[in-house]
Structure 1
């Protein structure tokens, strides 16, 4: 079950509640489903109950409780839990989860680095006016790339009134080198003061840029090693056991959630002129990918199986997303690190 299909399922639950006379609202055109936030659980969460609370004239948690049983009995859903003021947290059935892995991996494979590109800004011209300052220039360049990836076109001019003014860099970032300098300027939120320090160059886990590039390089290395072992990537069930499988703490689940979120993050980064959102999302993808990568290749005398091919496919999808995201930020994704 893809996010689009789950959104339709949520709307169907709303429609059933309206038909049963338990909610008096106009069924919205879409329901947003995302990865669960802090305090959430399961595979997805939706704020549809909060959205409908005011028009329904009922507390959002009560709206969620009305929708819960109608969601819980839908095909492909294993469990639904209400948290906080009315967030509906949805766990997919194992078969639906496996189908989602296959669908996402196939889509990433088909679209390559363009996975997540869309038409959120189709036909739009975004005019950026920036000051003569290095961070503003770099952020504007990234915004131009992001807007283009969403079907729009951005123009950059200098002068007043300024429409894009991130907190300036405290010093010249050029000594860091092109890639680390861009990361230092793009990773912080625009209202945060960037750190221009050698920390961006260290090759260890404390450096987010290193983790992102290292995860990409690890994926490429796994693909080469799999080739030497005589097998390639093929989407399918991951075949992971209860210790590393689809429980809420598993890397595979977290990695899948991060890949599913990628199109939404790209659209938001372009719409809000916020490349920092993409930079931080790439860190999320890398941090989910790195533990999972240890499960890809056979161990010892173990023979390559369909599960190994499927895990390699998911790993390669992560590598594609990391490379494509870094490219949008104007940063290189090396094959070796």
Structure 2
């Protein structure tokens, strides 16, 4: 169960309590859950009962008791406790979580680079237009890919003759003409340089990342730091994490084992693994939101988060045996999670039109 799943489960309990007239209070738009702090109980905690106590004219502990009755026994939840003035504390069902993790790994493995593609915009006919400016062209191209990945039919047109250098960024004119749809303008803050100038200095990958990573209403920083090989460069971090995944897969092959999530929930323990799993589970929703809002920067930020989470997981629990260790079920499970992260990174970079090298 991811934090988003737990939040939805508690929110459903609030709605049930209100519908059953056990609680007279407005249903919040969302319920916040957070990791239990050191010394606390369970895996997650929520202060929703304190939030609802005033409107319900009850004490927070009374509200917490009402909600506990409706959350206890829900799939994925092992135990619900009340602490302090009315905090709800949740201990997750490790067995159910392991099953969910196996299902997630299977989906990523089966769908590959298309994991997260969907039909959120199926049937939509979209036509994007943009000025003869490199950031607008790159953004329109990325938005086109994101919306197509959600099932839309899309055409992109430029207000003037395209810049020939755009071809070096992978941007080609649409074939077959635009669909019969109203035009939507893609007009981010201009880059302040031509495609040729940026390509000569940064190359295609750094140019695309530099233009797409900031939100469209923000200026795009396009300095030479986009070429620095260090963790302060988000593009390098994302591509390094992807390359590291492939290095681990090659290392496992030399040791004659492959990634496979086992039955034991302790095979991928720790907060780092759960954080990475939550981000992988969120990937389809991120792609759908980036498509709906015409915001490739959302995908770029998500890839950064996945890269950070993968590297933290890798440092906490190596997917490869260390020293005299022999490959175990735990190593196979960690490698499966590692490879799932690599798939998400590669698929996301592909949608942004950026290469995902296996060696750096």
TM-score range, shorter chain: 0.7 to 0.9
TM-score computed with the length of structure 1 as normaliser: 0.81
Aligned Cα RMSD in Å?
3.8
Alignment-derived partner of residue 181 in structure 1? 207
Q: How many residues align?
A: 320
| TM-superposed deviation, 1:211 | 0.7
Residue by residue over 1:66-85, the C-alpha shift from the partner in whole angstroms, topping out at 9 and shown as x without a partner, is 53542244242146699xxx
CA distance in 1, matches of 2:43, 2:347: 24
TM-score computed with the length of structure 2 as normaliser: 0.76
| TM-superposed deviation, 1:253 | 1.4
Alignment-derived partner of residue 268 in structure 1? 289
Displacement over 6 Å in runs of 4+: 2-5, 24-28, 31-35, 41-49, 61-64, 86-89
Is 1:300 the equivalent of 2:317? no
Alignment-derived partner of residue 103 in structure 2? 103
Alignment-derived partner of residue 190 in structure 2? 168
CA distance in 1, matches of 2:286, 2:87: 20
Match of 2:245 among 178, 202, 219: 219
Higher Cα Rg: structure 1 or 2?
A: 2
Alignment-derived partner of residue 321 in structure 1? 344
Secondary structure of 1:315's counterpart equals: helix
CA distance in 2, matches of 1:48, 1:132: 50
Structure 2: runs of 5+ lacking an equivalent: 161-182
Structure 1: runs of 5+ lacking an equivalent: none
Residue by residue over 1:7-31, the C-alpha shift from the partner in whole angstroms, topping out at 9 and shown as x without a partner, is 8845763564246422479999xx9
| TM-superposed deviation, 1:192 | 1.1
Residue by residue over 1:128-178, the C-alpha shift from the partner in whole angstroms, topping out at 9 and shown as x without a partner, is 121211001001000010001111122222349862211111223222000
Q: Is the CA contact (8 Å cut-off) linking 1:147 and 1:154 kept in structure 2? A: yes
Alignment-derived partner of residue 289 in structure 1? 310
Which range moves more in the overlay, 231-240 or 123-132? 231-240
Secondary structure of 2:144's counterpart equals: helix
Secondary structure of 2:312's counterpart equals: helix
Secondary structure of 2:349's counterpart equals: helix
Structure 2 vs 1, CA of residues 233 and 142 (structure 1 numbering), >3 Å: closer, same or farther?
Answer: same
Q: Is the CA contact (8 Å cut-off) linking 2:119 and 2:151 kept in structure 1? A: yes
| TM-superposed deviation, 1:245 | 2.9
Alignment-derived partner of residue 165 in structure 2? none
CA distance in 2, matches of 1:251, 1:26: 35
Q: Is the CA contact (8 Å cut-off) linking 2:2 and 2:278 kept in structure 1? A: no
CA distance in 2, matches of 1:70, 1:238: 26
CA distance in 2, matches of 1:163, 1:88: 47
Structure 2 vs 1, CA of residues 90 and 135 (structure 1 numbering), >3 Å: closer, same or farther?
Answer: farther
Alignment-derived partner of residue 239 in structure 1? 266
CA distance in 2, matches of 1:74, 1:262: 24
